[in-house]
Amino acid sequence: MVNLSLIIIDSNVYAKGAKIAERETGYSNKAIQAFLEATADNSLQAKEQIKDAGDKLKRNLIDAEVYTNIVSEAYVGPKFALNVLYKNYPELKQLQEGDSGQLLNDWFEKANTFGGLVKPDRRTKAQLLVDHYYSLPTIYFPTTDQVDFAATTELKDEFINTLSAESKKILDEELTSKMDPVARQKFKDQNEYLKDYYATVKNYIEEEDPSQLPAYKKYQDTKRFSEEKALLILDEPQNRRLKLLIKRAGTLNNRARQKDKVLDAVVSFWTKSTPKHPENIRAIRDGFLEYDIYKLVRNPTW
């Protein structure tokens, strides 16, 4: 979550800028921070909730059905938080329905330039990079309040890939310095494992048949808003080749997980998918949870 109070050291100056941004956009600083927190893909509270449920399951204090319900509720991302958020700040519903990235970007700019009265923008390069990163729109699964982490991560990666090596280093340092332990671990896993895992399909298509990339982009863009319509695109006669390439790339990902115990544990934990590696599969059958397996191979600090 962007801690806006850290962006401008002088809290009085910041408060004045935030007031101007609130007046010109209709969104208060409190509402903006609440939205960023609710849509964060690294909820420490959710992880603690799941760990507690796992411990209770091990001690037979709850049954499997109760545990499944708790995990399901926690891993819908920010759904529960968003429901409360929109009740308290109904004006923020527009951030989900509209272009959240542009709306947030405008708010940050107005807060830091006194609504355009102060030029140039007083933010440092690091602050501008962080603001831009967090201003990228959060993508939701169609007709739900559940964040599509893969699509959202891909969008953020596209932005990061446009940066120079120096800017990437500055952004990484700024982002991790403000993260809680869970967010820091997720960020680390994204860079070391998840980024390449999510990029497999696109990279495979680029290698095997680059002519399919435009159709793949159309498929991905459609999938972000409608799974049903995206599947219809793949069923079109001219996209049979694309459908085959996507299937083959998925097979490559599964094979990679079958061979790499750590990759499999990371993907299983963060995406709540079924393990593929033989040792991880046996561990689940023996009563271990995805969190237990992940903890053994990654040793998180939370």
pLDDT, tens digit, 9 for 90 and up, residues 239-253: 999 999 999 999 999
Same domain, 200 and 296: yes
Same domain, 168 and 209: no
Q: Could you tell me which residues are beta bridge partners of residue 140?
A: 147
Same domain, 210 and 301: yes
60 φψ region: left (φ > 0), alpha (ψ -120 to 50), beta (else): left
Establish if 51 belongs to a structural domain: no
Establish if 55 belongs to a structural domain: no
Secondary structure of residue 196 in the 3-state scheme = helix
What is the rounded CA–CA span in Å between residue 70 and residue 88?
A: 24
Same domain, 172 and 294: no
Establish if 298 belongs to a structural domain: yes
Same domain, 226 and 277: yes
Establish if 141 belongs to a structural domain: yes
Amino acid letter at 108? F
Same domain, 171 and 119: yes
Same domain, 173 and 184: no
Single out the residue in 154, 178, 202 at which a domain terminates: 178
What is the rounded CA–CA span in Å between residue 92 and residue 86?
A: 6
Task: Specify the number of domains making up the chain.
Answer: 2
What is the rounded CA–CA span in Å between residue 196 and residue 190?
A: 8
Tokens representing 51 are: 């760990």
Same domain, 120 and 188: no
**ω into residue 275 within 30 of 0, thus cis?**
no
Report the pLDDT value the prediction gives residue 33, as an integer from 0 to 100: 72
Tokens representing 291 are: 């969190």
Establish if 53 belongs to a structural domain: no
Single out the residue in 157, 178, 199 at which a domain terminates: 178
Backbone angles phi, psi at 226, to 5 degrees: -155, 105
What is the rounded CA–CA span in Å between residue 134 and residue 179?
A: 13
Same domain, 170 and 229: no
In 3D space, the residue among 187, 180, 190, 194 whose CA is nearest the CA of residue 1 turns out to be 180
What is the rounded CA–CA span in Å between residue 243 and residue 233?
A: 9
Establish if 48 belongs to a structural domain: no
Same domain, 154 and 193: no
Single out the residue in 144, 178, 212 at which a domain terminates: 178
**Burial class of 9 by CB neighbour count within 10 A (0 to 12, 13 to 18, 19+):** exposed
> In 3-state terms, the chain is what percent helix, strand and coil (to 5)?
75, 0, 25
CA distances in angstroms from 54 to 1, 60, 114, 149, listed in the order given: 27, 10, 48, 23
Same domain, 252 and 115: no
Establish if 239 belongs to a structural domain: yes
Amino acid letter at 294? Y
CB neighbours of 80 closer than 8 A, spacing ≥ 6?
A: 73
In 3D space, the residue among 251, 248, 257, 154 whose CA is nearest the CA of residue 209 turns out to be 248
What is the rounded CA–CA span in Å between residue 29 and residue 81?
A: 17
Backbone angles phi, psi at 38, to 5 degrees: -70, -30
What is the rounded CA–CA span in Å between residue 245 and residue 58?
A: 42
Q: Tell me the whole-structure pTM to 2 decimals.
A: 0.55
Establish if 230 belongs to a structural domain: yes
Q: Which residues of the chain have pLDDT under 50?
A: 1-11, 41-42, 77-78, 80, 121-122
Range of the domain at 284: 180-302
Same domain, 95 and 215: no
